[in-house]
Amino acid sequence: MRLSYRCVCGLAALLMAGLAISAQQPGEVKDDAKFFKAATVNAVNTAIRDLDKKGIRLAVETYPTGPKEGADKLRAFSAWMEFLKENGVQPPPKDIVEKLKNLDSRARDEFFARWGNKRAKELGGSTILILLTNEPKHLEVTVTPEAEKKGFSAKDRAALARAMLEKLRNGQLDDAVLEAVSTLRKEFDAPAKN
């Protein structure tokens, strides 16, 4: 009886160790929005593994839409503004309208920043997350504090996002993510193997 108890404990310890190791392995591109060609996904997955060897966890995730609860709140706000307009409610002064419009985009940006931070935290460690949605069209680049400590600053994050946005606005989705990966490889000295 004692031997079987030890076996069970030993197996449980091995299982827990295996789960811990698998949780730390690099991921793959999550392209639920189907933005990228297969060759692009393969190239980015290779970069993810190479960067992981340098202690950086790169995550690229695409979604057809943002999370339902956030989209519902944004739709409700827009519907409320439309309702007021349709029912002849006196519009607020122009400067207030501009503030409301900015609040709407600011609230959306804040929502995506929170979502990016939550996902990066779930992924753990020195994570750089590139998050893209199709509806609404949005790019969020999130860098964990651990990744910042390894040399990827907020300024680097902003430059990466700007470069990606330029390509994305021109419909060059594959080029945008491949250039981002190239930039990260240079930053962390993880060159592509030819």
**Got the DSSP string for 35-83?**
-S-HHHHHHHHHHHHHHHHTT-EEEEEEEEE--HHHHHHHHHHHHHHHH
pLDDT at 178: 97
pLDDT at 89: 65
Within a domain: 115 = yes
pLDDT at 7 over 90: no
Report the number of distinct structural domains present in the chain. Answer: 1
Lowest-confidence segment of 4-8, 51-55, 128-132 by average pLDDT: 4-8
pLDDT, tens digit, 9 for 90 and up, residues 40-67: 999 999 999 999 999 999 999 999 887 7
Band of pLDDT at residue 86, cut at 50, 70 and 90:
confident
Structural domain span for residue 81: 26-187
What residue type is assigned to position 165 of the chain?
L
Band of pLDDT at residue 78, cut at 50, 70 and 90:
low
pLDDT at 109 over 90: no
Band of pLDDT at residue 108, cut at 50, 70 and 90:
confident
* Domain CATH number, residue 52: 3.10.310.50
Lowest-confidence segment of 20-24, 31-35, 176-180 by average pLDDT: 20-24
Within a domain: 2 = no
| Residue positions counted in the chain | 194
pLDDT at 1: 45
Within a domain: 58 = yes
Within a domain: 6 = no
Within a domain: 65 = yes
Within a domain: 16 = no
Within a domain: 3 = no
